[in-house]
Structure 1
Amino acid sequence: MTVLPVVSSQEARRHARRLVLKHPGELATVLGLHGLSTACGLTAPRLLGDLVEDVRAGVDSVSTAAVLILAFVLAQSLLLGLAVSSTARLSEKVVAELREEFLDDLLRLPLARVEEAGVGDVLTRSTRDVDALARVARYALPSTLVALTTIATTVGALLLTGWLMVVPVLLLVPVLWPVTRWYLGRAREGYLRERTSYAQTAETLAETVAGARTVEALSRVPQRTARMDRAVEKTYGAQRHTLWLRSVFLPVTDTAIALPTVLTVVLGGLAYDQGWVSLAGVTAATLYTQQLTGQIDILLFWQDKLQVGGASLARLLGVRQEADPEHAAAAPERAAAHRDLRLSGAGFAYTDGQEVLRDIDLTIRQGERVAVVGPSGAGKTTLVRLLTGTDRPSTGTVTVGDVPLADIPRSTLRAEIALVTQDHHIFRGTLRDNLLLAAPEADEKELRAALEAVGAWDWACETGLDASLQGPGAELAPDRAQQLSLARLLLSDPHTLVLDEATSLLSPRSARDVERSLAAVTAGRTVISVAHRLHTAHDADRVLVMDGGRIVEDGSHTELLRKDGAYAALWRSWHGAGV
């Protein structure tokens, strides 16, 4: 399976930094609250150290010191609560913007690229990766920010207490630095591999569920089960690898974290005995070290979740590399001047060296009704995929109004050239909701006109426009779903309609009626139909006959019958079959 790309860790960090810096005021508030909270937290140990010194000197009243300590502890709690709340709001805002950007990038992915990557990769990026990033934003980022702020200020407080008291903390560096570097050097690739395995498992599961009836009918259950077992085994192996990384990293860091506090007490006692530091200094330094190592422990613990979040962010941003860029509006405006579709020397190959289309030179004038016919495998569907911009030609060009389709933003292109295939999707919601997807401002009269044009008004009235299309017994039959899909196409009002066997699920008589109705309401528009039944070709202004990836005949129904070539043979065969 060819998955979508992944950006580098540097690019992921740069993008995360840009998102955060988009809100400088909120970021300054967050940093300020964390700084004040940490300052209050550092004041209490100092006061407690002074209190111990005073008690040793024989001072009886400790009420003032106790009240001050209590006041600073309460102030720290209040400020920390505000800081965490502010951090959470900022994090959620950043994640919300990232979700919106990802959805926008996902909707701009070329359809061919989505099909190549498979539903599993897209699904896991849209669910697992987004959820992982949200968890990091809610918990890991606030905790990391608190830890970093506390570590920086506590080291400063230790230096003020006495430079000697910093030594036990510095002894952590030769222990934590190599193991952290070892872990970080392997964690990103490990988590990327893990999340790719999720995509492969989801792809296998989705494919099996979608084709469940076929799997059962062909007695392929053992083979599909074995394939799923292999996918799960890969996921299991990837998870074991990341678990092994954590099982090495976390125990080493947890053991190392306990050492500085012990060393501070020992070293502080020796320094006090030599008169180098006061008892208040030793007490404060011990409390500072304990607080510092606690925050280092938290920081290291969240490194694991940050690596997961970094891998997820890299996967989300990877979609952007494949998404079609949004161009300036000038290209669509130029395309609107005249809307002739033109292929010049166009060829296409799904794999190198195996061309499906070869040297196609074709011009379809605005307003023409064109039927594309030919035997199975002739390249009909591939041709219309090029004409709609779904695929890009391997050689040659495809233009509309002299503007390459590749230069037109996908959102604009879809509004101008609409494709309806025999595959369609009915969204959860009501019949009205599904229609309004194509034209949110459409009124009742416009909805009725679209339904009447595709022969769906009678059953739509019976069902009700506000009837739910979800739940047991509420699903539309395939032929009705196809009519609804065609009605949406009319409501979207494109200048070019491409129908790839769009009426194949209807009965011959219903298909004939729908196509005649469509002909009436699409007058003046370009209509390109892959003909499943040859009466479509009979009604067209022009018929393209394809064979072997080339257009072998081009003309009207009458002209091609006179030629007595490939089209005439197809027509006789179709009529001879009694269709």
Structure 2
Amino acid sequence: MKPPAIQERGPATMLPVGSPSAVRAYVRLLARRHRAGFGAVIALHTVSTVAGLVGPWVLGSLVQELSAGTAEGKILSAVGWYLLALLVQSAFMGWSRLRGGVLGEEVLADLREDFLVRSVALPPGVLERAGTGDLVSRGTTDIDRLSKSVREAVPELAVALVSVVLVLGALVVTSPLLALTAVVGLPLLLLTSRWYFRRAPESYRAESAGYAAVNTVLAETVDAGRTVEALRLGDERVRLTDRKIAEWLSWERYTMWLRTLWFPSVDATYALAVLATLTLGGVYTVKGWIDVGQLTTGVLYAQALTHPVDLILRWYDELQVGQASLARLVGVREVEDPETDEDSHPKGRQVTASEVRFGYREGADVLHGISLDVAPGSRVALVGPSGAGKSTLGRLLAGIYAPGRGSVTLGGAPLARMPAERVRAQVALVNQEHHVFVGTLRDNLRLARPDADDTELRAALDAVDAGEWADALPEGLDTEVGSGGTALTPPQAQQLALARLVLADPHTLVLDEATSLLDPRAARHLERSLSRVLEGRTVIAIAHRLHTAHDADVIAVVEQGRISEYGAHPELVAAGGPYAALWRSWRDEG
């Protein structure tokens, strides 16, 4: 069976997959962090394995004495030693499994935390180019696939390796000849395993990538459900989804075929080892090279090798799945760290767009070579007909999207290369979309600044005229809000969002008609709250209502993805161009 053909990928840029060297380096890092836990598991299992070696040795000695007719009075002693060894083995085996389980959970928690911390620090532009499906797949499916490997495979593999070394050592001590016959199946095992493991890792990675592609397509279809319905793209999206699922399933079938061939060959080597030990060991005994007690002990040791070797191969196979998932998680760490990139540190507050081109699909730009300078402390209004690209440009200037070509910089540093936290600390997008998180009002506010005390929280609420209703809540700042808690009205939820903005204290705001979905009375009240937030800040306003443009320092008229006019309100009205036409139309409608 041939592996499935690797399909050509579309224009979406997936997040990188960690290189083998990066994966090994990260594994070493985890091993150093948890070396005490690994040492404890190995030490406990060493005691357990040594105790397990006592039983075959006792039985072999007893068989030898029985064959020589000298076992009188020694059977009860042998049984006692056997039971004692069994108790010690069981106790330390249970203890080592307990410590192994705890170790696995600690390593998995470390891995999850590392992934989450690195993910939230990724520049917004990186996430925008990669799409949500890839990152979600890594944070859910890959973590789930890796959890079994980390919880069980890693400690069990370490334990099995110790067992193999100790059992082989015991075989050599018992009889070097039997040690050789016990590994007679090793060439077959190495040959078939080499065949399997040369194909498996890449296949598992392709399988994981295929599943991520399915997630990406489904997430995009759901997110853009209304657009898909409006443009009647349903059949096309279904065909695309079916194709991605078919590609993923083809890799699933291929990896299953690999396992179907490999597992029986592994079982054959186990049978060959025991058969060779019995057959050749019998010959050695007849020749007088070993005694019957050594043969008994050797056969039991050869059989005892089966379990740890089986564990090594089974968990190593599981680790192929885990390695593919780990490589995808480590790949997030290989995205250039903005903290170490000097170019990602702004050296001022000026926002500049230079020859910006951007499209939601390859080859279909929405913005065409836009250049714009926004001086610190100024107010710029973006106006134009619906669909002209105003909101898209606003999101580029807020660092939500990354330009396809050209650059958007803050203080000379590209916004797309800054970590999300740094962008949000300096530039914020304010629109009609807001969210009340489940938790207390205090928790909701502290999302913007975790170290803010109650005095600062109340000052932020007062700054947006929200102090009165906040004090009227049943438990004040400790009132549970969000789903299942006290319901906030849309104006209150928007004021809560503005209070977070006051706490975050960004120097630049991009406004996309934050009050457009509210009734006129609530909108006027909220606009008064908003005006206090705007004081002393750079403001880029996407103006659907032209009274916003009237008060701006400068106006940029966006038409068909280009800036067609630029200047102050009086200048543009006097020029009699597109803005003057919009102004007259808006006044006539008003």
Distance 1:490 1:32, change over 3 A: same
Distance 1:454 1:234, change over 3 A: farther
| C-alpha contact 2:124 2:419 (8 A) present in aligned 1 | no
Measure, in 1, the Cα distance between the counterparts of 2:130 and 2:417: 23
Distance 1:502 1:186, change over 3 A: farther
Distance 1:49 1:78, change over 3 A: same
Deviation, structure 1 residue 348: 2.8
Describe the SS at the equivalent of 2:439.
coil
Measure, in 2, the Cα distance between the counterparts of 1:226 and 1:554: 45
347-356 or 528-537, which moves further after superposition? 347-356
Q: Which of 336, 347, 356 is the aligned partner of 1:347?
A: 356
Aligned match of 1:310 = 323
Distance 1:390 1:189, change over 3 A: same
Measure, in 1, the Cα distance between the counterparts of 2:514 and 2:276: 78
- The TM-score, its normalising length taken from structure 1, stands at 0.87
58-67 or 476-485, which moves further after superposition? 476-485
Q: Which of 27, 30, 46 is the aligned partner of 1:19?
A: 30
- Residues 146-295 of structure 1 mapped to structure 2, 5 A cutoff: 146-207=159-220, 209-210=222-223, 228-295=241-308
Deviation, structure 1 residue 525: 1.4
Deviation, structure 1 residue 532: 2.1
Measure, in 2, the Cα distance between the counterparts of 1:378 and 1:457: 39
Measure, in 2, the Cα distance between the counterparts of 1:219 and 1:458: 48
| C-alpha contact 2:104 2:152 (8 A) present in aligned 1 | no
- Residues 548-567 of structure 1 mapped to structure 2, 5 A cutoff: 548-567=560-579
Measure, in 1, the Cα distance between the counterparts of 2:434 and 2:135: 19
- Residues 18-97 of structure 1 mapped to structure 2, 5 A cutoff: 18-58=29-69, 59-62=71-74, 63-97=76-110
Partner AA of 1:65 in structure 2: A
186-195 or 135-144, which moves further after superposition? 186-195
Partner AA of 2:518 in structure 1: L
Distance 1:225 1:560, change over 3 A: closer
Measure, in 2, the Cα distance between the counterparts of 1:386 and 1:208: 23
Aligned match of 1:370 = 380
- Residues 118-157 of structure 1 mapped to structure 2, 5 A cutoff: 118-157=131-170
Aligned match of 1:384 = 394
Measure, in 2, the Cα distance between the counterparts of 1:392 and 1:118: 12
Unaligned runs of 5+ in 2: 1-9
Deviations along 1:303-339, one digit per CA (max 9) or x if unpaired, are 331111111101111222336432389975x73xx52
Distance 1:504 1:113, change over 3 A: farther
Describe the SS at the equivalent of 1:258.
helix
Partner AA of 1:21 in structure 2: R
| C-alpha contact 1:371 1:537 (8 A) present in aligned 2 | yes
Aligned match of 1:523 = 535
Distance 1:428 1:116, change over 3 A: farther
Deviations along 1:167-224, one digit per CA (max 9) or x if unpaired, are 3333222221222122212222222232233333334444555566777788877776
Aligned match of 2:117 = 104
Aligned match of 1:470 = 483
Identity among equivalent positions (%) equals 46
Measure, in 1, the Cα distance between the counterparts of 2:560 and 2:200: 50
| C-alpha contact 2:438 2:480 (8 A) present in aligned 1 | no
Describe the SS at the equivalent of 1:326.
helix
Deviations along 1:138-157, one digit per CA (max 9) or x if unpaired, are 11112211111111221222
Measure, in 2, the Cα distance between the counterparts of 1:398 and 1:222: 37
- Residues 406-555 of structure 1 mapped to structure 2, 5 A cutoff: 408-442=418-452, 446-447=456-457, 450-451=460-461, 466-470=479-483, 481-508=493-520, 510-555=522-567
Deviations along 1:341-398, one digit per CA (max 9) or x if unpaired, are 344x443344777665555554323222221222345443343344333445566554
Partner AA of 1:60 in structure 2: E
Distance 1:347 1:207, change over 3 A: closer
Is structure 2 residue 311 aligned with structure 1 residue 298?
Answer: yes
52-61 or 236-245, which moves further after superposition? 236-245
Measure, in 2, the Cα distance between the counterparts of 1:500 and 1:459: 26
| C-alpha contact 1:348 1:395 (8 A) present in aligned 2 | yes
Unaligned runs of 5+ in 1: none
Deviation, structure 1 residue 294: 1.9
Describe the SS at the equivalent of 1:156.
helix
Partner AA of 2:321 in structure 1: V
Measure, in 2, the Cα distance between the counterparts of 1:218 and 1:551: 28
Partner AA of 2:160 in structure 1: A
Distance 1:14 1:443, change over 3 A: closer
| C-alpha contact 1:430 1:467 (8 A) present in aligned 2 | yes
Q: Which of 329, 338, 344 is the aligned partner of 1:325?
A: 338
Deviation, structure 1 residue 271: 0.5
Distance 1:414 1:323, change over 3 A: farther
Distance 1:349 1:341, change over 3 A: closer
Deviation, structure 1 residue 21: 2.1
Measure, in 2, the Cα distance between the counterparts of 1:93 and 1:9: 23
Measure, in 1, the Cα distance between the counterparts of 2:240 and 2:434: 28
Measure, in 2, the Cα distance between the counterparts of 1:146 and 1:157: 17
| C-alpha contact 2:352 2:408 (8 A) present in aligned 1 | yes
Measure, in 2, the Cα distance between the counterparts of 1:357 and 1:209: 25
Measure, in 1, the Cα distance between the counterparts of 2:318 and 2:211: 17
Measure, in 2, the Cα distance between the counterparts of 1:511 and 1:127: 40
Aligned match of 2:3 = none
| C-alpha contact 2:508 2:538 (8 A) present in aligned 1 | yes
Deviation, structure 1 residue 557: 2.2
Distance 1:348 1:244, change over 3 A: same
Measure, in 2, the Cα distance between the counterparts of 1:479 and 1:134: 43
Deviation, structure 1 residue 273: 0.7
| C-alpha contact 1:49 1:284 (8 A) present in aligned 2 | yes
Describe the SS at the equivalent of 1:502.
coil
Deviation, structure 1 residue 454: 5.2
Deviation, structure 1 residue 163: 2.1
Partner AA of 1:68 in structure 2: W
Is structure 2 residue 584 aligned with structure 1 residue 576?
Answer: no
Measure, in 2, the Cα distance between the counterparts of 1:115 and 1:403: 18
Distance 1:483 1:243, change over 3 A: farther
Partner AA of 2:270 in structure 1: I
Cα RMSD over matched residues?
3.3
